[in-house]
């Protein structure tokens, strides 16, 4: 099997952009439901304004140029095309750091942290299998463990023998798993949101009363999520192909599907997402799904592979978590599967840490890995 790593440059054909503009000019809008508010999903009035900006104010070529500022590559691992950014630090002795995004994100999540992190780390930022330019998937079984093994192979091909890993959302599951499949190579695991597992609900009154006020609030929000927000997981994990037809054919459908979560998971929740994250950045993230037609395979990989989410052994690798205000990581449960050496609770920020609180995230990553005292690997492409 070829281990070739090929340079990659984004150059979306103009016909794709013209097709998108035409579709945005002839949207078939649904009638707004009573109240037209977030209780029933993305409000029609709000989405119309965002789509108008997408059609008349947003410039993909600017976003494309920003992505192309960073060296990008593709390689084939375990039969799957893998796209990744590889940004070398000017410090040859820097520690390699593997960053993994989640759903409904992409490598776009990390654009604001690349420059500050690359002063101290060699950065490897892959697109998850089935997501964006690593999509679509060509095989079944891309659970967390298989992704982790692919990431370990990617780092081997790049010549990195010792490295750190970091991620949020799906990345917060994949990153600890890289530590489990390659503990001799991973010097530390850093996640935002908590590395899991979640508590086995419902908790007994005795166990609930033994938790701190902060952790009881997190348990309550997990319960609310299961009651009020779990529908998208049910759909994506059982009928990803059926969902894919609508999202791949309608850019507005694709945008609404991901923006629903950016509103729910940014902090404060009541604040419109474009007031938390730059709206062009939000559109660029949606564009990655639209241009690659990977709504279905991203859903399939993200939530259909249940075998990657069960009880797991502790790798022994030092693990840090920064838990922002929206997120629900609970240290007591995380310690059952992870060697937690640093845990930071923050009273601001949401689920999309690199987009919402890049400076705070960067500072925490730096402090954790500096405390480990490890130097990076020396050989790389």
Positive/negative CA dihedral, 341, 197, 232, 300: positive
Structure confidence at residue 82 (pLDDT)? 98
Domain boundaries, given as residue ranges, for the chain: 6-195+215-372
Question: In 3-state terms, what secondary structure has residue 319?
Answer: strand
Q: What is the pLDDT of residue 304?
A: 58
Annotation marks residue 169 as catalytic: yes
Active site residue 351: yes
pLDDT mean by block of 10 residues, the chain; 381 residues: 92 98 98 96 98 98 98 97 98 97 97 98 98 93 94 98 97 97 98 93 96 97 93 91 97 98 96 97 98 95 59 93 97 97 98 98 98 61 43
**Active-site annotation holder among 143, 145, 169, 364:** 169
Which conformational region is residue 151 in: left (phi greater than 0), alpha (psi within -120 to 50 degrees), or beta? alpha
- Dist. CA 67–CA 85, nearest whole Å: 9
What per-residue confidence (pLDDT) applies to 312?
A: 85
Beta strands across the sheet bearing 72-77: 6-8, 72-77, 80-87, 121-126, 95-100, 163-168, 186-192, 318-323, 339-345
Per the residue annotation, which of 160, 300, 303, 333 is the catalytic one? 303
Which of the following is catalytic: 86, 190, 267, 351?
Answer: 351
320-172-142-221 Cα dihedral, nearest 10 degrees: 140
* Whether pTM exceeds 0.75: yes
126: nearest Cα among 104, 147, 112, 146: 147
Q: Which helix (H) or strand (E) holds 15?
A: helix 14-25
Fold of domain 6-195+215-372 = Rossmann fold (3.40.50)
């Amino acid at each position: 099997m070829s281990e070739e790593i090929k340079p990659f440059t984004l150059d979306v054909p103009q016909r794709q952009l013209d097709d998108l503009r035409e579709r945005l000019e002839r949207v078939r809008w649904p009638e707004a439901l009573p109240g037209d508010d977030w209780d029933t999903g993305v409000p029609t009035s709000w989405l119309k304004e965002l789509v108008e900006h997408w059609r008349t104010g947003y410039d993909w070529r600017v976003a494309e140029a920003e992505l192309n500022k960073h060296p990008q590559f593709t390689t084939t691992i375990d039969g799957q095309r893998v796209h990744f950014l590889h940004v070398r630090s000017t410090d040859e002795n820097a520690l390699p750091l593997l960053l993994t995004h989640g759903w409904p994100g992409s490598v776009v999540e990390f654009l604001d942290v690349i420059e500050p992190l690359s002063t101290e780390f060699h950065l490897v930022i892959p697109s998850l299998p089935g997501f964006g330019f690593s999509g679509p998937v060509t095989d079944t079984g891309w659970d967390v463990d298989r992704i982790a093994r692919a990431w370990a192979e990617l780092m081997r091909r790049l010549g990195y023998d010792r490295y750190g890993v970091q991620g949020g959302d799906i990345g917060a599951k994949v990153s600890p798993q890289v530590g489990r499949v390659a503990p001799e190579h991973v010097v530390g695991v850093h996640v935002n949101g908590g590395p899991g597992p979640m508590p086995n609900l419902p908790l007994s009154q005795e166990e609930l009363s033994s938790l701190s006020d902060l952790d009881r609030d997190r348990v309550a929000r997990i319960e609310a999520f299961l009651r009020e927000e779990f529908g998208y997981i049910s759909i994506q994990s059982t009928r990803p192909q059926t969902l894919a037809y609508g999202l791949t054919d309608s850019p507005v459908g694709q945008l609404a599907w991901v923006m629903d979560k950016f509103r729910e998971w940014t902090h404060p929740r009541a604040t419109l997402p474009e007031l938390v994250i730059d709206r062009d950045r939000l559109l660029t993230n949606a564009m990655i799904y639209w241009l690659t037609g990977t709504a279905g395979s991203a859903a399939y990989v993200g939530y259909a592979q249940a075998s990657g989410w069960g009880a797991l052994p502790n790798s022994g690798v030092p693990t840090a978590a920064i838990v922002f205000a929206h997120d629900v990581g609970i240290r007591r449960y995380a310690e059952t599967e992870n060697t937690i050496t640093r845990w930071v609770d923050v009273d601001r920020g949401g689920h999309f840490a690199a987009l919402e609180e890049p400076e705070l995230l960067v500072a925490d990553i730096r402090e954790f890995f500096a405390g480990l005292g490890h130097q990076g690997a020396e050989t790389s492409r």
